Structure 1
Amino acid sequence: MRRTTRAARLTAFVVAAAATLAAAACGPVASREAGEPEIKIGLITKTEANPYFVAMRQSAQAMAAARSATLMTAAGRFTGDNASQATAIENMVKAGVKGILITPNDATAIVPSIRKARAAGVLVIALDTPTKPQNATDALLGTDNFKAGQLIGMYAKDVMGDRPARVAMLDAAPVSSTSRLRHAGFLKGFGLAEGDPSIVCSTYSYGDQTLGRIVMRDCLRAVPDLNVVYTVNEPTAFGAHAALKAAGVEKHVLVVSVDGGCAGVRAVEVGQIAATSQQSPLKMAEMGVQAVVEYAESGVKASGFTDTGVKLITNKPVAGLASKNTSFGRQFCWD
């Protein structure tokens, strides 16, 4: 199967969304007419570097254009950077946005800024990552991150069978609610409790490829015979694989991850990653933009949690656990 391009995937998402909206309105999606008030939408991602958030921004931009809205964007300078996100919220409220879509870097610290925005009449929707408490935002559009972790935990357990597991866990930032949920889901899926002696290394990579390589190297130095690696995302997995390969043990260690980006799907194809849980950042973004436009036009606010879905991607399925192969994964991945 020929690899689907990022442009084609974004176009498909926008066309599908437009078709849904058109069906609901019994006609085509209308552009804003002259004299109608401009709809401004804010999007604040964790960073600008991670391909996951790049794809999310591009999808939001495409949907905003399709709905004749204006998208303002900002991002943290690094994973865990709450200050930049708080400043972005303040600036966007001053600029007159009707809604803000945000992937929080710090699930707790960002809450006061979100509350101020909501008090000013701005719809705030979390994408991908819930705040703490979750109801600090009007709505959450994202992956069931506990399920994403649980799927790869179940997969890893099935592959290991009765063999003793020596597990390394490479999480994101301590303040990340997404990281905590995936971590807990993996433990549940694998059948481990926190602090189990089978967990021989547990550390933070901040979702970064370079740090993933460094912390994996450190884990290997401490426990050379570890045989399972859980990573919070695929950039971390790429770094971990580089360290495993440098140590000459990459063929003896099972690596599982979460994301489902095109690079991650390719890594599953060539065996660098055994399985990954594939998310839908494009869907999160386009649904978020639609929700803000609807709020601006009708006053109806989105609410609650909408699960945008997750699929286990592997070319080596195990009995009793639903999964899709990399041909499927390529259709829904992002660059």
Structure 2
Amino acid sequence: MNKVKSVLLLKLMLLLPMVITSDYSVHMKLKQQAVTSNVTTSVEKSTNGKTFGIIYPMTYPTYEMITMDATESAGKHNITLMVNAPDEANTEQQIRIMENMIKQNVDGIAISPVDATALTPVINKAQAAGIPVITFESDAPSSNRTAYVGADNYRTGRQFAMTTTRLLNNQGMILVENGLEEMHGLQQRLNGFVDYIRNETAIEILEVHYNQGNEDQAMTDMENMIDAHPHFNAIIGLDFVSVSASTLIWKAKGLKRHLIALGDSPTSENGLLNGQLSAVISQNEGVWGAKMIETLLLASEGLSVEELIDTGITELNQQVISPSKRDENESDGEYLSIFNFK
């Protein structure tokens, strides 16, 4: 399935007017080298269209999925995309990337800010220059940004807690792994989770760690917590990076405890179907790309947009599976159930 998605992504990049100026991982750099000449030609042919920038906090497979969705939507409107991200989460690099997009006078920018406070001045600078800016995944509420696309992160944290409470029958000891400590959305998510667990349950939170967007650090954090608390009942991963790290640990150690992760992706779906994950809390990331393009297009035309575009929260687990997934995994005898929360 991943190979098929890679081929489709390459075809989209060849056919659609898209500029990629990112410091992506090695395999993404190889794709960029393969399409460099075609991209230049496409940009020259699309001078009547608009150019939007997308800035991620770091490079990660989930963001590649969002880029695919944004690319498909952009192609329908003759929009050129400039997609960029630091190799690792870095506020200063995000600021430099955004400053460069402002100098290039793009028609709109979507950014998931690593540090909302630090990014607020440059977001306001873009807005003052007539470039609409929207945030996604994590908001910068004190800035002059035009809109936020994504789910309510505090409610997402509460949903993690409610799912955890149900799976543990309202008792037990848990370990928590989170991403960037300075990221507004991730702090909201943790706050929602902790508030519910402490006020509504008998569950004990043993430790909380931040991996700062680094998968190796996430694995180290979780292995250390497991060693320190061998009788834990569940690990909760509140960020995208934790899901791949935790499933690798579950495979290596053969753990039978509960593991709850964030984000609907091939990694999380495989984790559910293979029994490593007990549940996945998704913010419906698959629609972010299209929502971002649609919102920027309206804003760049001077039209009003909703300030909060809520993509909702979905819980995935192993009870009922779609026909296509059942065909792919019928030997597993496991099922996927979907619950939507508004």
Q: TM-score, normalised by structure 2?
A: 0.76
Matches of 2:83 and 2:304, distance apart in 1: 21
2:198 match? 192
Q: Is the 8 A contact 1:148 1:258 kept in 2?
A: no
State whether structure 2 residue 317 is matched by structure 1 residue 314: yes
Matches of 1:146 and 1:6, distance apart in 2: 32
Matches of 2:213 and 2:222, distance apart in 1: 13
1:46 match? 57
1:129 Cα deviation (Å)? 1.1
Matches of 2:250 and 2:273, distance apart in 1: 18
Counterpart of 2:164 (choices 153, 156, 169) is: 156
What are the within-5 Å matches in structure 2 for residues 183-332 of structure 1?
183-189=190-196, 191-192=197-198, 198-244=204-250, 246-247=252-253, 250-251=255-256, 253-296=257-300, 298-316=301-319, 326=336
Give the aligned residue type for 1:304. Answer: E
Q: Is the 8 A contact 1:212 1:238 kept in 2?
A: no
Matches of 1:244 and 1:282, distance apart in 2: 26
Give the aligned residue type for 1:63. Answer: S
Structure 2: gaps spanning 5 or more residues: 10-44, 321-334
Give the aligned residue type for 2:221. Answer: V
2:328 match? none
C-alpha distance 162-111 of structure 1, shift in aligned 2 (>3 A)? closer
State whether structure 2 residue 200 is matched by structure 1 residue 179: no
What are the within-5 Å matches in structure 2 for residues 17-56 of structure 1?
37-48=48-59, 50-56=60-66
Matches of 2:74 and 2:118, distance apart in 1: 28
Counterpart of 2:175 (choices 168, 189, 201) is: 168
Matches of 1:126 and 1:316, distance apart in 2: 34
Matches of 1:291 and 1:256, distance apart in 2: 31
Matches of 1:155 and 1:310, distance apart in 2: 12
Q: Percent identity?
A: 22
Q: Deviations over 1:114-166 (max 9, x none)?
A: 11111101100001111142x53110011222222222211111121154x21
SS in 2 for 1:108: helix
Q: TM-score, normalised by structure 1?
A: 0.77
The ranges of structure 1 where at least 4 consecutive aligned residues each deviate by more than 3 angstroms after the TM superposition are: 5-10, 34-38, 241-248
Give the aligned residue type for 2:103. Answer: K
Q: Is the 8 A contact 1:138 1:301 kept in 2?
A: no
Q: Deviations over 1:165-220 (max 9, x none)?
A: 2111101111011211221222244x3259x9921111112344322211111112
What are the within-5 Å matches in structure 2 for residues 97-116 of structure 1?
97-116=106-125
SS in 1 for 2:116: coil
Matches of 1:77 and 1:290, distance apart in 2: 27
Matches of 1:210 and 1:244, distance apart in 2: 15
1:139 match? 147
1:37 Cα deviation (Å)? 3.9
Q: Deviations over 1:62-103 (max 9, x none)?
A: 211210011112112312x11111111111111121110111
1:7 Cα deviation (Å)? 8.0
C-alpha distance 207-326 of structure 1, shift in aligned 2 (>3 A)? farther
Give the aligned residue type for 1:46. Answer: P
- Which has the higher relative contact order, 1 or 2, with Cα contacts under 8 A spaced 6 or more apart? 1
Matches of 1:74 and 1:245, distance apart in 2: 33
Give the aligned residue type for 1:206. Answer: Q
Matches of 1:36 and 1:219, distance apart in 2: 54
1:9 Cα deviation (Å)? 10
Give the aligned residue type for 1:57. Answer: T
Q: Is the 8 A contact 1:138 1:304 kept in 2?
A: yes
SS in 2 for 1:239: helix
Give the aligned residue type for 2:107. Answer: K
Matches of 1:148 and 1:221, distance apart in 2: 28
Structure 1: gaps spanning 5 or more residues: 11-33, 318-324, 330-335
2:94 match? 85
Indicate the RMSD between aligned Cα atoms, in angstroms.
2.9
Give the aligned residue type for 1:286. Answer: A
Q: Deviations over 1:41-77 (max 9, x none)?
A: 11111112x1111111222222112100111121123
